[in-house]
Amino acid sequence: MIDLYTWPTPNGHKIHIMLEETGLPYEVHPIDIGRGDQFDPEFLKISPNNKMPAIVDRDGPDGRPYPVFESGAILLYLAEKTGKLMPRDTRGRFDVIQWVMFQMGNIGPMLGQAHHFRHYAPEPIPYAVARYTNEAGRLYGVIDRRLKERDYLAGEYSIADIATFPWLRSWERQGQNIEDYPNLKRWFDAIAARPAVQRGLQVLADRSRTGPMDAKAKEVLFGATQYQRR
C-alpha cells in the first residue's frame, strides 16, 4: 500500500496517473497547500522541502516503510518497484531518465514561473511575463520537435510522458496555443485519452480551485508563512 500525500496540481497529477497506470493500491492524504498543510512537522519528515507530492511505501525495499519526495524520484521509484513504464535496457532507461530530468529541471520550474508571473504576481512585471512566456514557448518547441519522429518522448509511453503531460494541460495560462505544436498536440491527445490518466485526474478533483487564488493561499504560498524559518 502506498500512502499518497497530494493535492490536485500538475506535480500531484503525475503521481495520481502513475498509481492508476501501475494499479498499485494507494490511500490519498490531502495536503491543502493553500491552507498550509505542507508545513505540518509530520509532513516535513516525509517531504523536507514543504512541497507535495510525497509518498510512503508501507512495503518498502527492505520490508520497512520507505518515504519518497520529489515527483521525479517518486516516478522512478514506482517504475522500479513495479517494473512498469520504464525500459530495462540501459539505453532505453536513460532515454527515459533524460526526459524525466528535462521535465524536472525545465518544464516544471519554467512553466511554474510562467503561471506565477502571469497570474499570481501582485503587480504586472512585463519583463518577467515575457521571459517566462517565451521560455514556455521555447520548451513547447523542444517537445514538438522531439515528437516529430516518435510517438512518445522516449519512444514508448513511459514515466517521462507521465511527468510532462500534466504541466501542458494549462497551456492557455502559460500564454501558449497548443495548435501551434501539432506533434505535441497529437501526443497530448493520445495521453489524455488513456483511461488511467482520466482516473488519475479525478483524484481530489473536487478540491481543485475553481476561481482565482484567495489572499490566504497567496500569503501561505508566496508570503511570510513560506519564508518563516523553521
Ligand X SMILES: N[C@@H](CCC(=O)N[C@@H](CS)C(=O)NCC(=O)O)C(=O)O
Q: Interface with ligand X by CB under 6 A: which residues?
A: 9, 11, 33, 38, 50-53, 70-71, 108, 221, 226
Please say which residue, 156 or 219, places its beta carbon nearer to ligand X: 219
Q: What is the largest CA-CA distance in the chain?
A: 52
Site of grid cell 517518486:
74
Q: How far is the CB of 51 from ligand X (least distance, A)?
A: 3
Please say which residue, 73 or 190, places its beta carbon nearer to ligand X: 73
Q: How far is the CB of 164 from ligand X (least distance, A)?
A: 12
Please name the amino acid found at residue 183: N
Q: How far is the CB of 41 from ligand X (least distance, A)?
A: 14
Please name the amino acid found at residue 228: Q
Nearest-angstrom CA–CA distance, 219 and 124? 18
Please say which residue, 74 or 154, places its beta carbon nearer to ligand X: 74
- Which secondary structure element, helix H or strand E, spans residue 135, and what is its range? helix 126-146
Please say which residue, 119 or 186, places its beta carbon nearer to ligand X: 119
Please say which residue, 61 or 105, places its beta carbon nearer to ligand X: 105
Integer CA distances (angstroms), 101 to 39, 77, 192, in order: 26, 14, 22
Cell numbers for 73, please give them.
524520484
Integer CA distances (angstroms), 118 to 31, 94, 97, 109, 113, in order: 25, 34, 30, 14, 8
Please say which residue, 33 or 162, places its beta carbon nearer to ligand X: 33
Q: How far is the CB of 36 from ligand X (least distance, A)?
A: 8
Cell numbers for 206, please give them.
473536487
Q: How far is the CB of 226 from ligand X (least distance, A)?
A: 6
Cell numbers for 129, please give them.
511575463
Q: How far is the CB of 145 from ligand X (least distance, A)?
A: 24
